[in-house]
Amino acid sequence: MTAEDSADAADEPLVELDAVYDAIDAVGRPHLTATELSRKTDLSPEQAREALEALADDGEIQRQDVSGVESVWYPTDVAEVTDRERVILFPDRREVVVEHPDQFTRAQLSQFARLQDSNRSGGYVYELREADIWAAPHETLEDLLSTMRDVLGERSTHLEEWVTSQWERARKFRLYTHEDGYVVLEAESDDLMGNVARPKLDEDLLRAPISDSESWVDADATAEIKRTLYEAGYPVRDDRELATGEPLEMELRLRLRDYQADWVERFTEQGSGVFVGPPGSGKTVAAMGAMAAVGGETLILVPSRELATQWRDELVRHTTLTDEDIGEYHGGEKEIRPVTIATYRTAGMDRHRKLFDQRKWGLVVFDEVHHVPAPIYRRSANLQTKHRLGLTATPTRESDDEEEIFTLVGPPIGTDWGKLFDEGYVAEPEVEIRLVPWGSDDERTEYAATSGHDRRQAAAGNTGKIDEIRYTLAEHPAAKALVFVEYLDDGKAISEAIDAPFISGETRHAERERLFDAFRRGEQDTLVVSRVGDEGIDLPDAELAVVASGLGGSRRQGAQRAGRTMRPAGDARMVVLATRGTTEEDFVRRQMRHLASKGIQVTEQEAHAVEPSTD
């Protein structure tokens, strides 16, 4: 062979485009990975990857990258004529990669998988974990598998066998009330009781064996029993007869929406649970429906005094309860009544705790229940003999211990966010990340010279954001707007720059309420708010949320701030600012991850107020 012939052979592609089409037809999707091409041809995985890269260089195919997952390739013309949404299952890793998913697809995936990563090109990575299957909001295994097959578009025997095993694992142990009134832990088999429960639970928890598969347990220690077995990989079903407490006569003054009535019905059947729904979906009203259904004296736990006052007002407005029926127990007031609203902090203190333990509550409501796993709030969840109801839009916690919520309070009960958007109960927000250039070279230099918390604070305080805030407010001149900040100095600077009041933890309670009331009445159209506005405070008419800075990458905080705009009427917009080229970019993408998993479209672009520099 001549040198010229060798050169010609080297220029020949390892695989023709037609072979890629044949491989795509064989896998049954309009895309494939290098590994799949290798399996359908005589090429090694490395040769297949080189061949695909060569075709991409020639413009014949396109590549989709998602962090941590093998790249996906598809012909250019196929991308133009087929549905942009593509779902790729990796059953061995229990991962699902979705390109450009629509809202319904993401809502379905959130029922059995957790969003782990996303990129700027519209790719999302979901992971199926044991806890996701244990807490899946389905009544039967077949319902769960049906949802999975619908969204994945294919069946994987390997994955479905694993899902089935986890579904069954979550039903190996249960607590029930014996006819003589004591509490029994029952295992599915003698082996599970002998080799799992009894070695894990000490004598203080297991009083005495009843049979080889049943044990009499300490009724006051059921929270510890649940925690211990959960950590061993066995969630415990709670089928006990829960206390109803002293009777409470109350009726609702309004009619529940259909989905709220369904939540209440499912809660009364189970005796415990967590209402999970977007802000504005009426979880508080549904909780009042649960109170009426239980008909027993109720303890409501909240994270702040503001929420306690808000709960009291809502109960008087929407039920037949009067002020005399309702007590507040916190740093400002200490009254226990048939319905008592207490802060988590106060209720967890030893000197107050006996008062709450001695009362025969029929129901305990944990508002903003995502606080429960935190050490200071966790003790309140030991009230295990009562009906237990949690409320949250965001059970996600950055410590990844949200399973503690469902273990100690109850299983999730909720409606797909997309369904509420479609039916007009809640406005779907338009969420946009904007990357803001530095306001000055000095700020950029200061950022480069710092590290850790100081670096995060430097990025948060980028003065270039002030121009972008002004621009955004001018884009929506009629919108009632909230500007969120993380640091007090930034809040004061922005407040002065846009001539709007700044509300923080330093703001006196009376002044804070005056400003919030003015905002509700439309007398004040813009507020700058620190972390005190992240949860619980009722600002129903906010139409625009501008996040100037946030708490690291907290997904919960991102969803709560978006929730300030998610009301039935009007538009709902959220603009999240991040200093371009800094760690803040990654933080805001993490913050938006929970919203994306619920089907909300999150877009990203450069800031509008300032042209990005070319350096």
**pLDDT, tens digit (0-9, with 9 covering 90-100), for 233-285:** 898 988 888 877 889 999 999 999 988 999 999 999 888 888 988 777 889 99
Higher pLDDT among residues 300 and 520, named by residue: 300
pLDDT at 353 over 80: no
What are the domain boundaries of the chain? 10-165, 171-234, 258-416, 430-606
Which ranges of 499-577 does DSSP label H, i.e. alpha helix? 509-521, 555-563
In angstroms, rounded to a whole number, what is the distance separating the alpha carbons of residues 481 and 455? 28
State the residue for tokens 């800031």: 607
Between 282-286, 443-447, 591-595, the lowest mean confidence (pLDDT) is in 591-595
In angstroms, rounded to a whole number, what is the distance separating the alpha carbons of residues 258 and 260? 5
Could you read off the pLDDT of 156-198 as tens digits, one per residue? 899 999 999 999 998 999 999 999 989 999 999 999 999 999 9
Could you read off the pLDDT of 138-155 as tens digits, one per residue? 889 999 999 999 888 878
Burial label, 36 (beta-carbon count in 10 A; 0-12, 13-18, 19+): buried
Between 37-46, 125-134, 193-202, 487-496, the lowest mean confidence (pLDDT) is in 37-46
Residue 361 near residue 297, CB atoms below 8 Å = yes
pLDDT at 104 over 90: no
**What pLDDT is recorded for position 160?**
95
Exposure letters 464-474 (e unless 16+ CB within 10 A, then b): bbbbbbeebbe
**What pLDDT is recorded for position 121?**
58
What average pLDDT does this structure show over 39-63? Answer: 84
Could you read off the pLDDT of 328-346 as tens digits, one per residue? 988 777 888 999 999 888 8
From the list 80, 29, 34, 86, the residue with the least C-alpha distance to 55 is 34
Residue 250 near residue 291, CB atoms below 8 Å = yes
User: Binning pLDDT at 50, 70 and 90, where does residue 33 land?
Assistant: confident
Superfamily assignment of 430-606 in CATH? Answer: P-loop containing nucleotide triphosphate hydrolases (3.40.50.300)
- The answer to whether 258-416 and 430-606 have equal CATH topology is yes
Which range is most confident: 491-500, 505-514, 569-578? 491-500
**What pLDDT is recorded for position 10?**
47
**What pLDDT is recorded for position 344?**
84
Mode of pairing for the β-strands spanning 363-367 and 298-302: parallel
**What pLDDT is recorded for position 253?**
93
Three-state secondary-structure class, residue 77: helix
Which ranges of 328-440 does DSSP label H, i.e. alpha helix? 344-347, 350-358, 375-378, 403-408, 417-422
Q: Name the region of 295 (left: φ>0; alpha: ψ -120 to 50; beta: rest).
A: left
Residue 595 near residue 604, CB atoms below 8 Å = no
Question: What letter does residue 197 receive in the DSSP assignment?
Answer: I
Three-state secondary-structure class, residue 554: coil
Average pLDDT, the chain: 80
Structure tokens at 423: 């039916």
Structure tokens at 19: 């072979």
Contacts of 542 (CB under 8 A, 6+ apart): 480, 481, 482, 519, 564, 565, 567
User: Binning pLDDT at 50, 70 and 90, where does residue 400 land?
Assistant: very low
What average pLDDT does this structure show over 529-548? Answer: 68
Angle at 246 between CA 295 and CA 290, to 5 degrees: 20
User: Binning pLDDT at 50, 70 and 90, where does residue 427 land?
Assistant: low
CATH class given for the domain over 10-165: mainly alpha
Structure tokens at 560: 């709560």
For the domain spanning 258-416, the CATH number is 3.40.50.300
Residue 117 near residue 95, CB atoms below 8 Å = no
In angstroms, rounded to a whole number, what is the distance separating the alpha carbons of residues 480 and 525? 5
What is the H or E stretch that residue 116 is in?
strand 114-118
Question: What letter does residue 273 receive in the DSSP assignment?
Answer: E
Cβ count within 10 A of residue 148:
26
